[in-house]
């Protein structure tokens, strides 16, 4: 199924309902389809074989994505925060792209031969809208729908491919057609180049839920927009929720009362942040969504009922589920295996594998990375509890192998963060002649607090096994996170200089 | 008779119904709407066909329909006045499990 059909179904059924609102502008479902059809025609006229989107989020992103779908060419949203040379390097990897945007800051950008550029605003020009689109465009359902360059925290960006069949399978398995009430609105604050930004457009469309787009996130702006637009649902990455929590505590503003569902994902959520968020937004249901670019977004959900049960339980096993990513969505299977590939029993930590119709696991150059039975290695470590709840334990690549012992940075980071003087901490492997790898910690102190490396080592030794005590401790003013809140471990490794 | 496979789209010969096959084993089957075999999207409809009153329950856009043996599942992408049947047996609406929004 081509994802353009999702928009066709909604535009046929509720043509005059509002599809999206952004910066004072609104588009109906009918208008969104007409603009997408006009842009699809423009793609054909240019002979474009891909559509690159290089701008902040906004109505043009949704138009561009559906236009690419109608034409059967890949939609390639690019990270506009990258340096000019990084963007040029990514553009050079695209096949005859039509580049949408940017409206500012990229004068003289060098583009590959055969590329054409168009301003995002032109995609929303009423004069260009195609009032008589083919009623039901049906381009190749097996075509690549979206190409996303993964953030590349450990190497050069890989081009992950999601085909229409994967994205449509995700939408059909998780969303009921037209299930949103007419007063519902979802606040989209993630950038267009993140898989959650793609999924948000598709699932909001199929639910016929109005999208309110915040082009660039900041906590005060998010709170103001949520209140002004009477937003009922939202998706946030942990860093965003942490900043909203901070803003609410320090400004004394009341949280928007209309919010009834908040989903979060895209990284590990610190327990204090989610617990405080559940107090701020006590009327809202919280959902933790775990997914990867390669899996067409969400593969596991911890739903609002799970959150409430965990928060109010005296049973430590149930309470611990607040730190779980929940259970697989329909049609998705999750399995934990050891290093040799043998499936592990409940409770045992290993590598997380996933299988299902929404799982792509395909890259532009490397091809499909699914094994012969269709399983994809997420490279996340984790375990599954006896009730089927999935817990994550960091990335396999981040595991420290110290003298043959596998050590997960996560548990040491958690213990360091519990120290009263510590605001944030990251733990990583440091080269060691004695152990192969030793443990390095980079610590950020709370304002006006002090401690020593010796004190922190003692703190860890009192709480964990001796092999978990960091050999090296560095103090820094802040840790390097990317704009989606992902720790840039590669940069931290450089901090240890000759040791790493 | 048509070979049903996921992704296949068909339209009714006698009403506005359009469907897409979501799930199907490799099998030859007669998928009908309004009592008349459904057509490929590219086929042109012979005018004058009528809905069999025994198959006039209608289809609803966005609903999924499954056959009595739960082998074949289709999604209605456009509603109409005819109802769906697989090899002469009426297909039923599949009840979906509600999930919270996660994006």
**DSSP state, residue A398:** G
Q: What is the pLDDT of residues A18-27, one digit of tens each?
A: 999 999 999 9
Q: Output the CA–CA distances (angstroms, integers) from residue A127 to A4, A68, A119, in the order listed.
A: 22, 20, 15
Reported as a pLDDT band with limits 50, 70 and 90, residue A436 is confident
pLDDT at B26: 83
Q: Is B9 on the interface with A (CB under 8 A)?
A: yes
Cβ–Cβ gap A138/B63 under 8 Å: no
CB contact under 8 A, B100 and A138: no
In a 10 Å sphere around its CB, with 0-12 CB exposed, 13-18 middle and 19+ buried, how is residue A182 labelled? exposed
**pLDDT for the residue A229:** 97
Who wins on pLDDT, A114 or A224? A224
pLDDT confidence of residue B64: 96
The terminus-to-terminus CA distance of chain B in angstroms comes to 40
Q: Closest Cα partner for A472 from A412, A420, A417, A424?
A: A412
DSSP code for A132: S
Nearest partner of A248 among A220, A228, A285, judged by Cα: A220
Whether residues A172 and B22 touch (CB distance < 8 A) is answered with yes
Question: CA-CA distances (angstroms) from residue B33 to A6, A326, B11, B22, B95?
Answer: 22, 40, 8, 17, 20
Q: Is the pLDDT of residue B24 over 50?
A: yes
pLDDT of residue A496: 82
Predicted confidence band of residue A128 (pLDDT cuts 50, 70, 90):
low
The answer to whether B100 faces chain A, any CB pair under 8 Å, is yes
Q: Which pair of structure tokens corresponds to residue A489?
A: 């471990």
How many contacts does A have with B, using Cβ atoms within 8 A? 79
Residue A432 forms beta bridges with which residues?
A436
Residue-level pLDDT at A498: 54
In this complex, do A174 and B18 lie within 8 Å of one another by their Cβ atoms?
no
CA–CA gap between residue A377 and residue B101 (Å, rounded): 25
The residue-averaged pLDDT of A285-304 equals 96
Query: A370 vs A129, which has greater pLDDT?
Result: A370
| Entry pTM | 0.91
Mean pLDDT over A63-77 rounds to 96
User: Would the CB atoms of B100 and A263 count as touching at under 8 Å?
Assistant: yes
- The number of angstroms, rounded, from the C-alpha of A500 to the middle of its chain's C-alpha atoms is 29
> How close does chain B come to A214, measured CA to CA in Å?
14
With CB atoms and an 8 Å threshold, state whether B20 touches A1. yes
Residue A137: pLDDT over 60: no
Cα–Cα distance for residue pair A425/A439, rounded to 1 Å: 13
Closest-CA distance of chain B to residue A349, Å: 26
Q: Do B102 and A263 touch (CB under 8 A)?
A: yes
pLDDT class for A177, splitting at 50, 70, 90?
A: very high
Average pLDDT of chain A, as a whole number: 91
A98 in B contact zone (CB under 8 Å):
no
Cβ–Cβ below 8 Å for A235 and B102: yes
User: In chain A, what percentage of residues exceed pLDDT 70?
Assistant: 95
* Per-residue tokens: A127: 């004069």
- Please indicate if any CB of chain B lies within 8 Å of the CB of A351: no
Nearest-Cα distance to chain A for B96, in Å, is 7
Q: Do A330 and B62 touch (CB under 8 A)?
A: no
Q: What is the pLDDT of residue B17?
A: 96
Q: Give the CA angle between residues B67, A2, A6 to the nearest 5°.
A: 75
Q: Does A289 touch chain B (CB under 8 A)?
A: yes
**Which chain B residues are within 8 Å of A207, Cβ to Cβ?**
101
Distance, CA of A286 to CA of A124 (rounded, Å)? 34
> Any idea which residue has 């009341």 for tokens?
A254
| Segment A343-353 mean pLDDT | 96
pLDDT confidence tier of residue A131, bands split at 50, 70 and 90 = low
Mean pLDDT across B72-78: 97
d(CA A77, CA A191) in angstroms, rounded, equals 9
| Neighbour count for residue A252 (Cβ, 10 Å) | 7
Closest CA of chain B from A95, distance in Å: 26
What pLDDT is attached to residue A153?
Answer: 55
Q: How far is CA A276 from CA A243, A244, A287, A288, in A?
A: 12, 10, 15, 15
A76: nearest Cα among A60, A57, A90: A90
Q: What is the ipTM of this complex?
A: 0.94
Summarize the confidence of residues A162-166 as an average pLDDT: 96
DSSP state of A309: H
Name the band, by pLDDT with cuts 50, 70 and 90, for residue A182.
very high
For residue A500, pLDDT beyond 60: no
Look at residue A82 in the predicted model and tell me its pLDDT. Answer: 87
- Measure the N-to-C terminal CA separation of chain A; round to a whole number of Å: 48
Inform me whether the pLDDT recorded for A373 exceeds 60.
yes
Percent of the residues in chain A that have a pLDDT greater than 90, as a whole number? 74
Residues of A with Cβ-Cβ distance to B97 under 8 angstroms: 330
Strands (DSSP E) found in A451-495: 472-475
Is pLDDT above 70 for A207? yes
Asked which of A140-149, A326-335, A400-409, A441-450 is least confident by mean pLDDT, the reply is: A400-409
Between B4 and A105, the more confident residue is B4
């Amino acid at each position: 199924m081509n994802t353009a059909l999702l928009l066709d179904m909604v535009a046929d059924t509720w043509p005059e309902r509002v599809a999206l609102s952004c910066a004072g502008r609104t588009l109906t479902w009918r208008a969104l389809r007409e603009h997408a059809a006009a842009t699809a025609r423009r793609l054909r006229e240019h002979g474009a074989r891909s559509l690159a989107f290089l701008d902040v989020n906004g109505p043009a992103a949704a138009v561009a994505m559906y236009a690419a779908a109608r034409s059967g060419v890949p939609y390639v949203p690019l990270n506009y925060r990258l340096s000019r040379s990084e963007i040029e390097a990514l553009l050079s990897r695209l096949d005859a792209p039509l580049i949408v945007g940017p409206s500012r800051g990229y004068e003289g950008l060098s583009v590959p031969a055969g590329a054409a550029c168009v301003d995002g605003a032109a995609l929303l020009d009423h004069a260009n809208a195609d009032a008589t689109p083919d009623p039901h465009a049906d381009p190749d359902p097996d075509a690549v729908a979206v190409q996303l360059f993964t953030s590349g925290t450990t190497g050069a960006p890989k081009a992950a491919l999601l085909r229409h069949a994967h994205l449509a399978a995700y939408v059909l398995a998780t969303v009921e057609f037209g299930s949103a009430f007419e007063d519902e609105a979802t606040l989209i604050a993630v950038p267009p180049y993140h898989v959650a930004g793609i999924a948000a457009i598709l699932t909001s469309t199929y639910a016929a839920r109005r999208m309110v787009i915040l082009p660039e996130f900041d906590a005060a702006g998010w709170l103001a927009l949520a209140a002004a637009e009477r937003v009922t649902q939202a998706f946030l990455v942990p860093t965003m929720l942490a900043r909203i929590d901070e803003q609410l505590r320090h400004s004394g503003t009341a949280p928007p009362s209309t919010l009834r569902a908040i989903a979060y994902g895209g990284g590990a959520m610190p327990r204090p942040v989610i617990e405080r968020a559940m107090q701020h937004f006590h009327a809202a249901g919280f959902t933790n969504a775990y997914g990867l670019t390669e899996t067409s977004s969400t593969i596991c959900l911890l739903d609002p009922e799970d959150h409430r049960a965990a928060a109010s339980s005296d049973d430590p096993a149930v309470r611990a589920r607040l730190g779980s990513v929940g259970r697989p969505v329909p049609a998705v299977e999750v399995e934990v295996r050891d290093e040799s590939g043998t499936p592990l029993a409940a409770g045992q930590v290993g590598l997380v594998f996933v299988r299902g119709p929404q799982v792509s696991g395909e890259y532009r150059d490397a091809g499909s990375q699914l094994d012969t039975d269709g399983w994809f290695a997420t490279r996340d470590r984790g375990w599954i509890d006896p009730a089927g709840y999935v817990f994550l334990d960091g990335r396999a690549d981040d595991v420290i192998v110290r003298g043959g012992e596998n050590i997960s940075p996560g548990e040491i980071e958690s213990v360091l963060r519990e120290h009263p003087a510590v605001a944030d901490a990251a733990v990583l492997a440091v080269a060691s002649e004695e152990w192969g790898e030793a443990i390095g910690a980079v610590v950020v102190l709370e304002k006006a607090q002090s401690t020593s490396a010796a004190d922190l080592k003692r703190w860890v030794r009192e709480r964990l096994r001796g092999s978990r005590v960091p050999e090296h401790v560095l103090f820094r003013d802040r840790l390097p996170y990317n704009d989606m809140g992902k720790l840039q471990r590669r940069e931290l490794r450089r901090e240890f200089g000759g040791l790493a | 008779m048509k070979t049903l496979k996921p992704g296949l789209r068909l339209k009714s010969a006698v009403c506005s119904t359009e469907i897409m096959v979501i799930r199907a084993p490799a099998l030859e089957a007669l998928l009908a709407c309004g009592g008349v075999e459904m057509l490929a999207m590219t086929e042109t409809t012979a005018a004058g066909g009528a809905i069999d009153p025994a198959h006039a329950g209608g289809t609803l856009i966005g609903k999924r329909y499954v056959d009595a043996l739960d082998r074949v599942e289709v999604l209605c992408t456009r509603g109409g006045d005819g109802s769906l049947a697989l090899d002469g047996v009426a297909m039923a609406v599949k009840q979906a499990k509600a999930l919270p929004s996660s994006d």
